[in-house]
Amino acid sequence: MQKLDYEKLLEENKALKHRINQFKNLLDSIPDPVFMKDENLRWIYGNPVILNLYSIDKDNYIGKTEDQLLPEEFAESCMESDRQAVAKRSISKSEEQARDSDDELHYYEVFKVPSYSNDDGAFIGLIGIGRDITERKEAQEALELENHMRKEHEESLAHLTETLEQQVQERTIELENEKQKAEHLAYTDTLTGLNNRRAFYEKSLVIDQKARRDLCSYAVIMLDVDNFKMINDTHGHAVGDKVLQNLARIITKNLGNADVHGRIGGDEFTITLHDISLNTAMTFAQNMCSEISNISLYKDDSHIPITASFGVSAYHSNSSSFEDILAKADEGLYLAKTSGRNKVISQIS
């Protein structure tokens, strides 16, 4: 009876060894790293892949820990992930690293499964299997780098776009300012700052049209400096320019916003007064004539007398055009100059 039990035990032991050998062959054939550890996290098995990966001596690793087998740069992180797996008491996943025979760094996704005793629940061992995710990791890092570079490119493009838009806006403002300056120069006499001939006519025609539409009146004054050529010849053009600028200052000071001034020739000035009668325009011109004669202009301590002659005309219902009214004012100016100067004469259009 004892002999039969012993033979049966031998057969069972033989069968168990055979199953263990089959299991080991299965683990050895897996192309991914596989390892097993005991309750003290000491190695009890490693397949050829993991032994070759870490250059572990296959005949001298049983019963050892990571810090005795693995390179220092990887040992601590591997042991820490083991401890976390045991503490979690369930399958866990971690990312670990290793270098191949060419010293190239590889990344592994490692699954670790802790085992516990059915009797008392005590930890009895750990089995793990890893998967080389280097290509996936590199692809992910390349994608992250690409996304980062794309984001930087988009931010750079947005900044460039904003900068260009700002430059365009600034340039648009500059062009608008230059346009306004050009228009101002096109309509302005540069010496006196008054309207030039073109601007005076265009603005005066607006007053003429309004007067005809609203049945109101307006007046036109023409004036020029008496003996201006003699002033230029005697004292020089610089003094002549000062005379013209003084007249422009007086004209500008006395006109309202709706009135129109202009310099239409060398020393010829024109004024269009809106909504005013001939008599009131005459008074306005006489006051200006008096103010001009009081200009104090000196050269080399010598006083230079300044006077001006005026011609005045006004619009009424029979007036044919603005040009006719201006012509009548010019006639009055001519009469003022030929009858002694420094006076105001009106002519009916």
The tens digit of pLDDT for each residue in 80-93 reads 999 999 998 889 99
Q: Please, which residues have CB within 8 angstroms of residue 116's CB and are 6 or more apart in sequence?
A: 89, 122, 123, 124
Going by DSSP bridges, is the β-strand pair 344-346/308-314 parallel, antiparallel, or unpaired? Answer: parallel
Please report the beta strands in 167-283, taking only residues with DSSP state E, as ranges in sequence order: 218-225, 260-263, 268-274
Helix (H) or strand (E) holding 132, with range, is strand 123-132
Which has more pLDDT, 202 or 53? Answer: 202
Print burial letters for 21-38: b (CB count within 10 Å at least 16), e (below 16). Answer: eeeeeebeeeeebbbebb
- On the question of pLDDT at 171 being above 70, the answer is yes
Q: Give the three-state DSSP class for 37.
A: strand
Does residue 161 carry a pLDDT above 70?
Answer: yes
Higher pLDDT, 236 or 72: 236
In terms of pTM, does the model score above 0.85? Answer: no
Domain 31-132 indexed as CATH 3.30.450.20? yes
Over range 181-188, report the average pLDDT.
Answer: 81
Amino acid 185: pLDDT: 76
Q: Which of 16, 69, 93 is nearest to 24 (CA)?
A: 16
Which pLDDT does position 3 carry in this prediction? Answer: 58
Measured over the CA atoms of residue 15, residue 19, residue 24 and residue 25, the dihedral's sign is positive
Q: Is 90 exceeded by the pLDDT of residue 336?
A: yes
pLDDT (0 to 100) of residue 242:
95
In this structure, whether the domain defined by 197-346 belongs to CATH 1.10.260.40 is answered with no
